[in-house]
Amino acid sequence: MSAIESVLVENRVFPPSEAIVKAARVSGMESYDALCAEAAQDFEGFWARQAREHLVWTKPFTRTLDESNAPFYKWFDDGELNASANCLDKHMGTPVENKTAIIFEADDGTTLKVSYKELLARVSQFANALKAQGIQKGDRVIIYMPMTVEGVIAMQACARIGATHSVVFGGFSAKALQERIIDAGAVAVITANYQMRGGKELPLKAIVDDGIALGGCTTLKTVLVYMRTATACNMVAGRDKTFDEALQGQSTECAPVAVGAEHPLFILYTSGSTGKPKGVQHATGGYLMWAKMTMDWTFDIQPSDVFWCTADIGWITGHTYVAYGPLAAGCTQVIFEGIPTYPNAGRFWQMIERHKVTVFYTAPTAIRSLIKAAEADEKVHPDRSDLSSLRILGSVGEPINPEAWMWYHRHVGREKCPIVDTFWQTETGGHVITPLPGATPLVPGSCTLPLPGIMAAIVDEVGNDIPNGSGGMLVIKRPWPSMIRTIWNDPERFKTSYFPPEMGGKIYLAGDGAVRSADRGYFRITGRIDDVLNVSGHRMGTMEIESALVSKTDLVAEAAVVGRPDDVTGEAICAFVVLKRSRPVGEEAKQIAKELRDWVAKEIGPIAKPKDIRFGDNLPKTRSGKIMRRLLRSIAKGEAITQDTSTLENPAILEQLAEKL
């Protein structure tokens, strides 16, 4: 592989203000450097200190890191604790118990506040309801819920009794849900009758029923349904219960079950480059410690903060920075049910003003779409809202382009809020490369430096370090506590996906390309090195979408999917399709493209709908029959074809595939 050239040079630097440095937990680069030096000199000692400081243990650990069966690393494995107790019980008897834990704002603007004490009672009661259904430690529970307080309660209640949860995003299809129920061997599904998004009532329970009807969910015994709206839904006698029925007569006290630090807290499915989703398994101790530490370090969380992460609990960001981190840190957080553009595109800014949000964490896609809306209609511009409460801004899900960064800095942060551009993945459990608000000089578009203890580097195909200024593959050279432990039911795939033998089998391969700046050694992520797209901050395997298209067997013979740059979503899905009939044109082509989009939405979920669909008589292939994806990427971008196409059987298809509908 020739080195990936970096063409983007960014010279603007924004050092943190003196006031921010003074007040911050990690204050100035000297403090950051001292923590890095401690981790480098005494790696295990550094992590053991953090684990003792940040977690409440029911049984203290004596072993910090066990590397005897690498890459299946274990952290603090002879210690015991409970995740829910570390988020709720530990605050009882302190001033935090009466503090607001959650400010919930519904889609229609109704707000509700829940204190830590109330939250503990509700989680305990729900945990008792789960136990009454026969759910116990080690069982897997699927959660398919809207963004409500109940979703977080369901997650915390599972953790409380030692059941492993697997949250499935409410936009995924029946088939995606069925695959996850089967793979996890789930005994229960927790869902809602409907969810409210943008003023619309969207079904959830009906999708659960459809998923179960597809067959194979032999482990499933119970479905618990939260009645979010007054609209009735189908209920199966003996299997389904409403929350009210399940909670009836249950005590609001439930002792947390101590589990080993390595006990699986959750499985979260993520897209890989092959079609089958990967069940990323996280351990209780290391994961929770890092969720708490990154709240302290990255967001510099203070007792007076009102924190708002806009991510859904169906994604890792909603796990670490909604369901666990903020509660472990004892702060007040905002949970929002709706979408940023309803009733108008100023909703985020109006909510920041309404709830006096101090730390705001959202995705570049949301920022870019709100820039577009603000430029088109000044009434929804952030300048119209009082955002003076804000002190720190964050960005998550994909790299933020420098211009969006500048707009965010100017119009939302009013040029006084540091922006923490956080790089991390489902697999890393929490932030791994990010600025620290009171220490790191900021450069737009760069996630800057690894957190202390995270040994990130950029290497070539065989694992040799690459000099600053040249691009290569992002790796982490030493294990860290919140890392993925395995892929559920597939340890071999875990090894080959993340710890490739050609790099020695012990180095974590992130799957992203990156470059370090020659002047500061700052990291900048350049995009995936495999066939995985990042659409609106959500990872999608090209193979998954291809498999969904090809499964429409009456119509599709072959399909290839690539990504192309998109101003709003970062990347857009572009599908090249060969039909089992002649190539359609004009209106007919539009009609079939719509049919295929709807089909993909049904198979995977609306999030995976291709933006562009192009039809050809066949696909460009090499002589050995490999699809020339590089060529398709160029066509999708509308670039002139410069690579050699003489090996193509049918050069005319290039013109066909370049035709836009």
225: left (phi over 0), alpha (psi -120 to 50) or beta: beta
Q: pLDDT-based confidence at 2, cuts 50/70/90?
A: very low
**Neighbour-count burial of 642, counting CB atoms closer than 10 A to its CB (0-12 exposed, 13-18 middle, 19+ buried):** exposed
pLDDT at 523 over 60: yes
Asked if 63 and 76 touch (Cβ cutoff 8 Å), the reply is: yes
Are 575 and 612 spatial neighbours (Cβ–Cβ below 8 Å)? yes
Cα 610 to chain centroid distance, Å, stands at 20
Burial of 244 (0-12, 13-18, 19+ CB in 10 A): exposed
Say if residue 624's pLDDT is above 80. no
Q: How many helices (DSSP H) and strands (DSSP E) are in the chain?
A: 20, 30
Supply the pLDDT for residue 339: 94
Report whether 217 contacts 181 (CB < 8 A). yes
User: For residue 11, what pLDDT band results from cuts at 50, 70 and 90?
Assistant: confident
Beta strands (DSSP E) in 390-455 are 392-395, 419-421
Mean local confidence (pLDDT), 311-323: 97
Banded pLDDT at 651 (limits 50, 70, 90): confident
- The reported pLDDT for the residue numbered 622 is 66
Report, as an integer, the average pLDDT of 199-213: 98
pLDDT higher than 70, residue 192: yes
How would you label 575-598 residue by residue, b for 16+ Cβ within 10 Å and e otherwise?
bbbbbeeebbeeeebeebbeebbe
Neighbour count for residue 350 (Cβ, 10 Å): 17
How many whole angstroms separate alpha carbon 640 and alpha carbon 48? 55
Q: Is the pLDDT of residue 507 over 70?
A: yes
pLDDT at position 95, please? 97
Classified as helix, coil or strand, 318 is helix
Distances (CA, A) of 156 to 84, 162, 172, 515, 604: 6, 10, 22, 38, 27
Confidence category of residue 145, pLDDT binned at 50, 70, 90: very high
Report the C-alpha gap between 391 and 305 in whole angstroms: 9
- In this prediction the pTM is 0.90
* Residue 90 amino acid letter: K
Sequence-distant contacts of 219-222: CB under 8 A, at least 24 apart? 219/181, 219/185, 219/186, 219/187, 220/181, 220/186, 220/187, 220/188, 220/189, 221/133, 221/134, 221/187, 221/188, 222/133, 222/134, 222/135, 222/187, 222/188, 222/189
Helix (H) or strand (E) holding 562: strand 556-566
Chain segment 485-503, per-residue pLDDT in tens: 999 999 999 999 999 999 9
Look at residue 185 and tell me whether its pLDDT is greater than 90. Answer: yes
Encoded amino acid at 363, one letter: A
- The answer on pLDDT for 382 being more than 70 is yes
Contact 573, 610 (CB under 8 A): yes
Q: What does the pLDDT average to over 65-80? A: 98
Contacts of 554 (CB under 8 A, 6+ apart): 580
User: Rounded to an integer, what distance in angstroms lies between the CA atom of residue 383 and that of residue 89?
Assistant: 41
Judged by DSSP in three states, 63 sits in coil
Using the structure block, give the residue that is written with the tokens 């400081």.
Answer: 53
Contact 108, 543 (CB under 8 A): no
From 371, 372, 432, select the one nearest 396 (Cα to Cα).
Answer: 432
Tokens of 568: 């709003």
The Cα 514–Cα 526 span in angstroms is: 5
State both tokens at 566. Answer: 């998109």
Q: What is the mean pLDDT of residues 252-277?
A: 91
Nearest to 443 by CA among 405, 493, 479, 470: 405
